[in-house]
Structure 1
């Protein structure tokens, strides 16, 4: 496909990705009203988010592998239909139980769209030219991440719309994108009548990941880090994960090709993606809480205050993408991106409830620049080392680890924040001579406006001062990603869709050695 036709197809792909990404963030502001309207509980509040997270993360590598075996365009169509129909169902849900079930199905569609959009682009454009298109994708992801809460708040506040339109709003756009892709997306599909699906490996991976995510979701809230529940869930996840590795090493069409993961550059890129996802999602998710609870801004104002991060992602993704396509070199931009990410979190680690918004904005901008330069380019490193018939599985693995890192980051940093807030509120109440009792003392309620003015000031200060702690941890996590990025092999991205065919008689070892070597300058 030439540049004009690629752009026409990209318009549909970016629309799909935007609606998929925004579905996760648009609900965040409206959740209290949604659960209240459906007479749900606090546990169900959590499960509305967890259900989507579980199914999308666990299904990502499976969708990626299916894209290597079957028609990418057909799978993308199926993913769009699953996402659209489940979004409609969520909007019509009459109980919290129904909403949770429909959100789980929506997660399947979300997992499909997140990875299949990347796979389809890889099937249209060579790694060298893919940089500038990845810049567009980075911008779409940034706008969806920041714009989702703003749109969700506006929809919920409008009486003639209401929270159900948080689910309905994306359906027309995804269906429009489906029509656009049917007309513009032209892929050369390689038919494989002998293709088989590794159902056992896929099931073991899905169950293992689900157990791990369930543990991450409930640890420190429902049970302690060191408890029999932790041992049972983590132990079972590790056993099932080991069984999945043994299965993947023996089947003909593994969901996760181990010969790809074992290579140096893909392995380092996966480690870097895991740490970048953990630092970015884990750190950025608490910025809205910092502005609203710690600084007293409204949800809309909090969304607007995160614009520096969005601007950083948009600018760096567009510029670095074009430079990658022009030079063919990707490592310098990844290293520079993770350095910027680390410096941004170090800047944010100094904030408290009185820090100048200029300093906070500068830290967010650096974080945004780091995300824009590193996230998509790390995926590009892996895609550059694998043949076209493995691009789906490889892309699925990177996306999976990035999502897993983000989930774990949110849980771990959330636990640290809760502990810090509880300690600082207790210290503040004691210093003010106020009895340390009730929900406010433990930081278990965010209804700050309903508190006594004296207590309200202590709670706001506690949240504002404690947030810097989690950004310091995020900087440490980003540093691990930087170390992995520094050890990446300096390579030139190939300008062909597929790797050069191996000479007759080449074995598995020769093929593994050829993949990274083909990309060296």
Structure 2
């Protein structure tokens, strides 16, 4: 009887070097998601953009990353993982250079879409490749390092972006260029050291129809969320058309995925208890990870009047909490083999952090704000990667790419929708609060001219700047109150995770693998009804 492949490979000298390259790729791509957050007021101001475009600079990359993630995950099950990773790195590098030299906000948003494709590919491929090298139980310890890298990259992005924006001779364009040399080094390291077994299937079929329908349906839904409240109302023909179109496209995607031989998102995986619960909880964590980093940086600048570098430094508790909890919980998961207690505890801390942040305004003590960020960081660090581990532990190696891609997809979808929904909510609340402030000051709604609708505080009259800062401060507290409700849902969902013990082998044991993959194997052996 064949024994499952375990950990001897990890002792090869090339493995640590490969892991360093993989973690570098993951760190740089995660960094690109939030490095622009603190510098966005400068970026949008320099390119003469608006509040709506402010959100789009972040959303465009997240949207492209989200829509493409499950596709890249499935391609990793069908083709050479190493070549796919190399392709994603090249795509990311080229798009980063284009972003760095953009001349208008429109150009920047378009280049960010391309960059998002590289981000989505790199992030899921790194996790798939690591899952192909290390068993779930040992991966718990490694996930601590992965979580720390993601924490430093995601939450440290605002700090790095603020420093680059403020340093003489550099400026905001280096927010897009700084990762290029690191990615090139990682490309060389991985090309020389990464060795993976060839697990490609001889009957490879790419589900182009399913991939197109999923990407189109998700993109249309995210576009609706982005424009909601600004371009049109909740109840309008535009909302009906976009929501209805998205539901139709995704319904067709489900039909196609249930009939093709090798679906992009295997329904038998999504319908598993572990996967379904991890998906819902990951969406809440994704919203916290992306939304918190983006809007906290904006809060410190536009409500408290701090410079970009200072705003980045003030987000340090979020980074510290995530890094410490990810590292410690990862080692404890590897030691005990249990993951549910850490996920649930993380969701509790995340909810408490949001609840504390929901009380902030422009005058709140920084100690309270930092305490809320620290709790939020603890929650993200303990739950984010462990939710991926729950799913990876329950599927055979042959489906690891699709499973990892699916969970990452919904986590990024949660982050994208979080930024979009919370961004639209914030813009509406700021506009309403500003109008109320102007009215209370005895000024007309057009006082301050066009400057009232921009992010350039320096160019505003003093009385208007004070009103706008107050509007952003109170709106941010309202924003995190909405985030608290989402976190409560994620917490309630995580309570239903099954109590499982992580396996010691890279693949499922032979006696379990046939049962776990029977549905997928049966699907692979029949001719597709649609392709």
Q: Same fold judged by TM-score > 0.5?
A: yes
| Aligned position for 1:57 | 66
Q: How does 1:86-165 map to 2 (within 5 A)?
A: 86-93=95-102, 98-165=107-174
Q: Is contact 2:34-2:158 (8 Å) kept?
A: yes
Q: Which residue number corresponds to residue 459 of structure 2?
A: 450
Q: Is the 8 A contact 2:140 2:333 kept in 1?
A: yes
2:495 aligned residue: 486
Give the aligned partner of residue 230 of structure 2.
221
Q: Residue 294 of structure 1 contacts residue 462 of structure 1 at CA under 8 Å; is this kept in 2?
A: yes
- Equivalent position of 2:6 in the other structure: none
In 2, Cα distance between the equivalents of 1:348 and 1:42?
22
Secondary structure of the 1:386 match is coil
Work out the CA distance in 1 between the residues paired with 2:92 and 2:245.
Answer: 31
- Paired with 2:457 and 2:88, the residues of 1 have a C-alpha distance of 41
Q: Alpha carbon RMSD of aligned pairs, Å?
A: 2.6
> CA–CA distance in 2 between the matches of 1:189 and 1:234?
42
Tell me by how many angstroms 1:90 deviates: 3.1
Residue pair 1:336, 1:373 contacting (<8 A) in 2 also: yes
Show structure 2 runs of 5+ residues with no match. 1-8, 522-531
Equivalent runs, 1:209-248 vs 2, <5 Å: 209-248=218-257
Deviation per CA, 1:77-110, whole angstroms, max 9, x where unpaired?
A: 1111111122223334456555444332222111
5+ residue gaps, structure 1, are: 513-521
Task: Please say if residues 313 and 368 of structure 1, whose CA atoms lie closer than 8 Å, have aligned partners that are also in contact.
Answer: yes
1:459 aligned to 2:481? no
Any idea what the Cα deviations from partners look like across 1:198-251, whole Å, max 9, x if unmatched?
A: 111111111111111111221111111211111111111110100000110011
Q: 1:507 to 1:53 in 2, by over 3 A?
A: closer
Match of 1:309 in 2: 318
Q: Compute the displacement of 1:444 (Å).
A: 3.0
* Cα gap change, 1:505 to 1:229, in 2 (>3 Å): closer
**Closer, same or farther in 2 for the Cα pair 1:503/1:96, shift >3 Å?**
closer
Q: Does 1:468 align with 2:502?
A: no
Q: Which has the higher contact order (CA 8 A, sep 6+)?
A: 2
Which of 495, 499, 504 is matched with 1:495 structurally?
Answer: 504
Q: Which moved more, 1:72-81 or 1:432-441?
A: 432-441
What is residue 349 of structure 1 aligned with on the other side? 358
User: Does structure 2 conserve the Cα–Cα contact (< 8 Å) formed by 1:283 and 1:474?
Assistant: no
Please give the alpha-carbon distance, in whole angstroms, between the structure 1 residues aligned to 2:186 and 2:170.
Answer: 23
Query: Does structure 1 residue 193 correspond to structure 2 residue 202?
Result: yes
**TM-score relative to the length of structure 2:** 0.90
Per-residue deviation, residues 181-202 of structure 1 (Å, max 9, x unmatched): 1232222221322111111111
Aligned counterparts, 1:366-405, within 5 A: 366-405=375-414
In structure 1, C-alpha distance between the alignment counterparts of 2:19 and 2:128, rounded to whole Å: 12
State the Cα deviation string for residues 294-332 of structure 1 (Å, max 9, x = none). 111111111101101100001000000000001100000
Q: What is residue 249 of structure 1 aligned with on the other side? A: 258
| Aligned equivalents of 2:474, 2:450: Cα separation in 1 | 16
Name 1:258's counterpart in structure 2.
Answer: 267
The 5 A counterparts of 1:332-347 are: 332-347=341-356
Contact conserved, 1:216 with 1:407, CA < 8 A, in 2? no
- Superposition deviation, residue 460 in structure 1: 1.8
Q: Distance in 2 between matches of 1:248 and 1:486?
A: 29
Alpha-carbon distance change, 22 to 296 in structure 1, aligned in 2, over 3 angstroms? same
- 1:237-281 CA-to-partner distances (Å, cap 9, x unmatched) read 110100000110011101001001111111011011112222443
Q: Give the structure 1 partner of residue 426 of structure 2.
A: 417
TM-aligned CA deviation for residue 452 of structure 1: 3.1
Q: Aligned residues, how many? A: 512
| Cross-structure match for 1:518 | none
Partner Cα distance (2:356, 2:54) in 1:
33
Q: Is the 8 A contact 1:135 1:322 kept in 2?
A: yes
Deviation, structure 1 residue 13: 0.9
- Relative to structure 1, the CA distance from residue 399 to residue 383 in structure 2 (aligned partners, 3 Å threshold; closer, same or farther) is same
Name 1:516's counterpart in structure 2: none
- Alignment match, 1:286: 295
Q: Which residue of 1 aligns with 2:528?
A: none
| 3-state SS, counterpart of residue 289 of structure 1 | helix
| Contact 1:55-1:111 at 8 Å conserved across structures | yes
Identify if the C-alpha distance between structure 1 residues 474 and 221 changes in structure 2 by more than 3 Å, giving closer, same or farther: same
1:26 equivalent to 2:65? Answer no
* Aligned: 1:84 with 2:93: yes
Q: Is the 8 A contact 1:279 1:475 kept in 2?
A: no
Shift of 1:370: 0.1
Deviation string for 1:158-197 (max 9, x for gaps)?
4533444333322211111011112322222213221111
Shift of 1:455: 3.2
**Range that drifts further, 340-349 or 326-335:** 340-349
- Write the distance in 1 (CA, Å) between the matches of 2:191 and 2:303: 48
